[in-house]
Amino acid sequence: MYDGIKAVAFDIDGTLYPSWHLYIRLPAYFLHHIKFFLKFGAVRRIMHKTAPLPDFFEYQARLLAERMHCTADYAKEQINDICYEGLKPFFYKIKTYPDVYQTICAFKAAGLKIGMLSDFPPEQKGRLWGLRSLCDVCIGSEESGALKPSIYPFGILSKKLNLKPEEILYVGNSIKYDVRGARKYGMKTAYLLKGLRKCFGIACREADISFKNYRQLKNIVLK
């Protein structure tokens, strides 16, 4: 087993499936709601830098309301209807990266706990391609009151898994949010190579593991 870990936890978007599989389905929907998405994107950039809040969803709605010139209640409805619930149907035909299911099953069979931590509600992805039933913990970082790379979502994940941070390997596709956030909390990290890094096999020096595909990750973790 890799370096004494007892759990493997995953980011979802862009880590379990290729982001472009979602993006190619969104142009018409995005253009229809372009004003919302541009303003919501600006709000989320602020939320990524905000300290943990006891009223995350309310504060997010208030920030959006200021930009949309509407009430916070209406802004909250728009976030739910357009983003959280509105994007759900687009995930139905998206497929995971090859060997994701088999890799997680192998981790589970080896006695490792499985976790998932996303910056959006996991429920947005339905049954998570059959992976939900394999998870010991599956949470959205919004539940902690802060988004990645804040250490607080990783802290909640560690607490729910009932493990020390150094006993958890966190897998993600973002150096800024996944690798640095998890590493700052004390977790081990695995980075999914993409783009030129993947083409030329350029490892991420900040991550403990860099991998090109899930078969490679499985072999490294279960060696």
**Model pTM score:** 0.95
Interatomic CA distance for residues 21 and 67, integer angstroms: 30
Percent of the chain beyond pLDDT 70? 100
Average pLDDT, the chain: 96
The predicted-structure confidence for 193-218, as pLDDT tens digits, reads as follows 999 999 998 999 999 999 999 999 99
Whether 1 has a pLDDT exceeding 80, the answer reads no
Percent of the chain beyond pLDDT 90? 93
137-140 and 168-172 as β-strands: parallel, antiparallel, unpaired? unpaired
Interatomic CA distance for residues 201 and 184, integer angstroms: 25
